[in-house]
Amino acid sequence: MTSLPTLLYTASQVQAMDRYIIDSGAVTGYELMNRAGRATFRVLLRHWPETRNIIVFCGGGNNGGDGYIIAGLARCKGISATVLALVNPDKLHGDALQAYHWAIETGVTVQTQALVDAPGISAAFSAVCAGEFSNGGARREATVIVDAMLGTGATGPLRAPFDSAVRVINQSACPVVSVDIPTGVSADSGVVSHLAVHAHVTVTYIAMKQGLLTGAAPNYTGKLYFDDLAVSPQTLANFRPASKRAALESWIAALPVRRVADHKGRFGRIIVVGGDLGMGGAAILASEAGARSGAGLISVATRSAHLTAVLSRRPEIMAKGVESGEELVHWLEEKLDQGQFTLVVGPGLGQGDWGTAIFNAVQTFLKSCYEKGIDLPSVWDADALNLISRSAQTEQGWMQRAVATPHPGEAARLLQCSVSDIEADRFAAVQKLSSRLGCTIVLKGAGTLVSALNCGAEGKHGDIWLANTGNPGMASGGMGDVLSGIIGALLAQGMPPLEAAVLGVLVHGESANLAIRERGMVSLLAGDVVDAIGSALSRHASEFALVSP
């Protein structure tokens, strides 16, 4: 059992890998099935060492074959094992059929009758439970369900009898282990069409399926384990990953080293633009996050009514009251005379007259700079994205150093589709957004995705990076403002947009993970995440140690 790998693949790629491994003669299909069964059974006993009974729901493919192996391993260890076969064993073939015969030899009980509809499955499950929980039988808490019904190749809504079996499993009081992927979850996108197994633990094999880490999937996988089944990484070298998983410990080294003689000018300036009346807190959160993420100087351009709040809450931040687009452009031009900076546009901006005027002014300013050969980095969030979606703006040259951070609702407005369309294929959506705006995109949500156009190839996309970090406590107001400030600070320190976006998402998630240790998930606020940024950086960045220039 190894940590989750960096390289992520689609279901079709993993199926091609299976065929390649077997065809190459490196290992037989049945041996792979045995390795998968043993890996899953080890995890099962690690979580529930007092297990006395397992009930395995088996389908008809290799996933079901894995289930028969698990049942047989349980019997070999003296654990009661019953298989509820949703596909009659007469229809099994190949490795799955061999696994079935071996399970029978070990003494596994296989039930097939009446497993065609909800009443039959429910009755069979209840009968097994009644027998095991009777006098001298296993306690309910010592019984584990194994979901080995459908594997990575399954697509579309669940059909009978699998939909009924999923309902029985989810309504039980028993812990559940899913084999490779919870039945009902898409291995490609993480989508659940209408129903899926709620697993406590999922063990996946050979290569990491990208859908397990994003969309709705994390709600269903429970604790996720990966086992390469002793397949050499070199065996898979011919398969280009569909996406990649980002980890903070790998990306933190991209931050600049703080040398003894450095000064604030070396670490850049950011200007946060936003905060219409009643929404000044968003601009404050973004600017505070930028300050905690290492930017040398932080300024805020906001409504004059918010100046006192900004300065009293955080005196390290410089604040400018602007009431018109012309006033903002004049001030930005003055700032540019002092040196380049990064703009963070959108936190609390609103879509009213003031917000629209400020948005148009920023775009005019950036276009003018670009025409003069000054390519300023920028971050676009919240209502700035909504205002873009109302315009006909497409890819612009001045957006090449920009990062846009839409959540699924904003993404849907930008692509003129529904939120369900976005969530149906988040990987395709993040690339469409990158093409639409011509910049790096952070598609927020569980398993945040980051993608950019490949600057070396016209219209081509680079890698998609997935960050499975953070926690459900982040589902509250202001979190996106904090993220935009972090990314802005990283851009200001000289990081390229893609690197700044990926590292920003990772720091954001890790800060939230640290913050819940004190606050808990229910009480977590965006300001708590800001306060934890320093700890998140220092815990992972030995590069921050002072060194001589």
> What average pLDDT does the segment 34-59 reach?
97
pLDDT grade, residue 2 (50/70/90)? low
pLDDT grade, residue 493 (50/70/90)? very high
Q: Hey, what's the torsion of the CAs at 51, 56, 61, 65, to 10 degrees? A: 40
Structure tokens at 13: 């790629």
Residues 200-227: tens digit of each pLDDT: 999 999 999 999 999 999 999 999 999 9
CA distances (Å), origin 379, targets 342, 400, 485: 8, 11, 8
d(CA 33, CA 44): 16
CA distances (Å), origin 311, targets 90, 300, 354, 411: 75, 10, 22, 34
At residue 101, φ and ψ (nearest 5 deg) are -65, -40
Which three-class secondary structure state does DSSP give residue 421? Answer: helix
Tell me whether domains 7-243 and 248-544 share a fold: no
Binding positions are 62-66, 147, 151-157, 180, 183, 282, 348, 407, 444-448, 480-481
The residue ranges of every structural domain in the chain are 7-243, 248-544
Binding positions for (6S)-NADPHX are 62-66, 151-157, 180, 282, 348, 407, 481
pLDDT for res 119: 85
At residue 52, φ and ψ (nearest 5 deg) are -120, -10
d(CA 99, CA 38): 13
Structure tokens at 335: 């700032």
**Residues 248-544, CATH architecture:** 3-Layer(aba) Sandwich (3.40)
Q: Whose CA is closest to 196, among 218, 214, 170, 175?
A: 170
Binding positions for K(+) are 63, 147, 183
Structure tokens at 546: 């002072």
pLDDT for res 321: 98
What is the percentage of the chain residues whose pLDDT exceeds 70? 93
Contact 528, 515 (CB under 8 A): yes
Sign of the dihedral through C-alpha 399, 404, 409, 415: positive
Sign of the dihedral through C-alpha 526, 527, 529, 533: positive
Q: Which amino acid would we find at residue 220?
A: Y
Residues 385-403: tens digit of each pLDDT: 999 998 866 667 789 999 9
Per the omega criterion (within 30 degrees of 0), is the bond before 161 cis? yes
Which residues lie below 8 Å from residue 461, measured CB to CB, with a gap of 6+? 431, 434, 435, 451, 452, 453, 454
d(CA 126, CA 144): 14
d(CA 264, CA 546): 15
Structure tokens at 191: 């989508």
pLDDT grade, residue 137 (50/70/90)? very low
Q: Which CATH number fits domain 7-243: 2.60.40.1080, 3.30.110.70, 3.40.50.10260, 3.10.20.340?
A: 3.40.50.10260
pLDDT for res 454: 63
Which residues lie below 8 Å from residue 342, measured CB to CB, with a gap of 6+? 268, 269, 270, 271, 295, 376, 377, 378, 379, 488, 489, 491, 492
Q: Which residues on adjacent β-strands are paired with residue 67?
A: none
CA distances (Å), origin 183, targets 13, 60, 187: 19, 13, 10
Residues 294-327: tens digit of each pLDDT: 999 999 999 999 999 999 999 999 999 999 999 9
Residues 241-287: tens digit of each pLDDT: 999 999 998 999 888 888 888 889 899 999 999 999 999 999 999 99
pLDDT for res 116: 74
d(CA 528, CA 34): 47
* Angle at which helices 526-540 and 479-492 cross, to 10°: 40
Alpha-carbon radius of gyration of the chain: 27
Which residues lie below 8 Å from residue 239, measured CB to CB, with a gap of 6+? 9, 13, 16, 17, 207
Contact 464, 451 (CB under 8 A): yes
d(CA 156, CA 154): 7
Structure tokens at 91: 């229809």
Binding positions for AMP are 444-448, 480
Query: Would you call 305 exposed, middle or buried from its count of C-beta atoms within 10 A (0-12, 13-18, 19+)?
Result: middle
The number of residues in the chain equals 549
> In angstroms, how far apart are the furthest CA atoms of the chain?
85
Query: Would you call 147 exposed, middle or buried from its count of C-beta atoms within 10 A (0-12, 13-18, 19+)?
Result: buried
Q: Can you tell me which residue has the tokens 């001589």? A: 548
Across the chain, mean pLDDT equals 92
d(CA 220, CA 192): 9
Contact 299, 318 (CB under 8 A): yes
Q: Whose CA is closest to 131, among 52, 236, 219?
A: 52
Residue 361 has pLDDT above 80, yes or no: yes
pLDDT for res 134: 47
pLDDT grade, residue 548 (50/70/90)? very low
Q: Hey, what's the torsion of the CAs at 239, 241, 242, 246, to 10 degrees? A: 170
